[in-house]
Amino acid sequence: MSTKRLYKIRTLLNGRCNVTEQVTFSGGSTDKLIPFNLYVWVIEGGEHPVLIDTGLVDVEGFNKGTAAYIIGGVTQRPDELPETMLSNAGIDPADVSHVLITHLHGDHCNNVGMYPNATVVVNRKGFLEGFPTNIGQGFMSALIPRWPDSLRLTGDEEILPGIRVFWIGGHSVCSQAIAVDTEQGTAVFTGDTCYMYENYTNDRPIGWATPEDCRRAMARIRMQADFIVPGHDPCVLEKHPGGIIG
C-alpha cells in the first residue's frame, strides 16, 4: 500500500507594494491603495525543492511598466532579494527540480534564469496563445541552454505525486492553479486570479479580469481546494505562522 505524499510549503517574501483598489477588486476605486506582498513558495518534502513562481529581479523595469496601478512601485529589503531570500531559506537554486509558474507576469516569472536545472512548468494554452508577443525575451533566453527539457507545457495534470496543476484563467489566459497535498488538506495556490483572500471568500472578482471569468475560475478552485493561498495577500503570513503552510 502506498502512502500519500504530503508536503509543507514555505513562504518567502520577495517585496511589497501598494496597488489600486480598482485592480484588486472589481468596482474598486482608483484612489484607495491595497498593500500587496510579493511571494515565492518552496514546496518541501519531495526529493528536491519545488518552487511556485520565481520571484522578481528587474524591479526597475517592472516598476516602469506598472506605474499606473502599482503606486510608488515594488520595494525590496536586502533580505527580500532573490539570492539572499533563497540562501537564508537554505535553498540552493541549482537543486530546484521544478518551477511551477502560476502565470507569465513579471513578478511571477522573470527570475526563471536563476534555476539552472529546473523544469519550468507553464500552462500550455496560455503559453501558445501568448507566444511570442507576450512571452518575455529574458524568459525564453533562460530556457534555451537546456531546450526543450527546460520547459513543460501542461494542461490539467499531476507534476509530481501530490502536486497538480490545472488551468483557471480569470486573470490571464496563462493562469494555472497549483494544488499541493498537505497534512491540512489540499492547498491551492491561485496566482493572481485571487490576489487576496477576500476575492475568494466573498466571491469578489479581481479588477484585472472579466468578472464572470474570475468567478468561473474561483468555482473551479473550490472544487479542488481545502484552503487557498492567494497571490499577494499579506495575511498569508498571519494565517500561516512563520510562513509555513501545511
As a whole number of angstroms, the distance between CA 246 and CA 20 comes to: 31
- 211 touches 205 (CB < 8 A): yes
Q: Does 107 bind Zn ion (CB under 5 A)?
A: yes
Q: What are phi and psi of 18, to 5 degrees?
A: -125, 125
Q: How far is the CB of 242 from Zn ion (least distance, A)?
A: 23
Strand duo 157-160 + 33-44: pairing: unpaired
Q: Bridge-partner residues for 245, per DSSP? A: 9
Q: Give the residue from 143, 152, 153 showing the smallest Cα distance to 113.
A: 143
Q: How far is the CB of 32 from Zn ion (least distance, A)?
A: 19
Q: Does 192 bind Zn ion (CB under 5 A)?
A: yes
String of contacts with Zn ion for each residue 112-151, x by CB under 5 A: ----------------------------------------
From 3-11, 94-102, 187-195, 219-227, span contacting Zn ion (CB under 5 A): 187-195
Q: Does 233 bind Zn ion (CB under 5 A)?
A: no
From 51-59, 107-115, 203-211, 234-242, span contacting Zn ion (CB under 5 A): 107-115
Comparison of 80 and 192: residue with beta carbon closer to Zn ion: 192
Comparison of 17 and 245: residue with beta carbon closer to Zn ion: 17
From 7-15, 24-32, 70-78, 103-111, span contacting Zn ion (CB under 5 A): 103-111
Comparison of 6 and 237: residue with beta carbon closer to Zn ion: 237
Sequential DSSP letters for 24-39: HSTT--SS-EEEEEEE
Q: Does 53 bind Zn ion (CB under 5 A)?
A: no
CA-based torsion, 135, 95, 88, 52: positive or negative: positive
Q: How far is the CB of 232 from Zn ion (least distance, A)?
A: 6
Give the 3-state secondary structure of 45-76. CCCCCEEECCCCCCHHHHHHHHCCCECCCCEC
Contact residues toward Zn ion (CB under 5 A) are: 107, 192
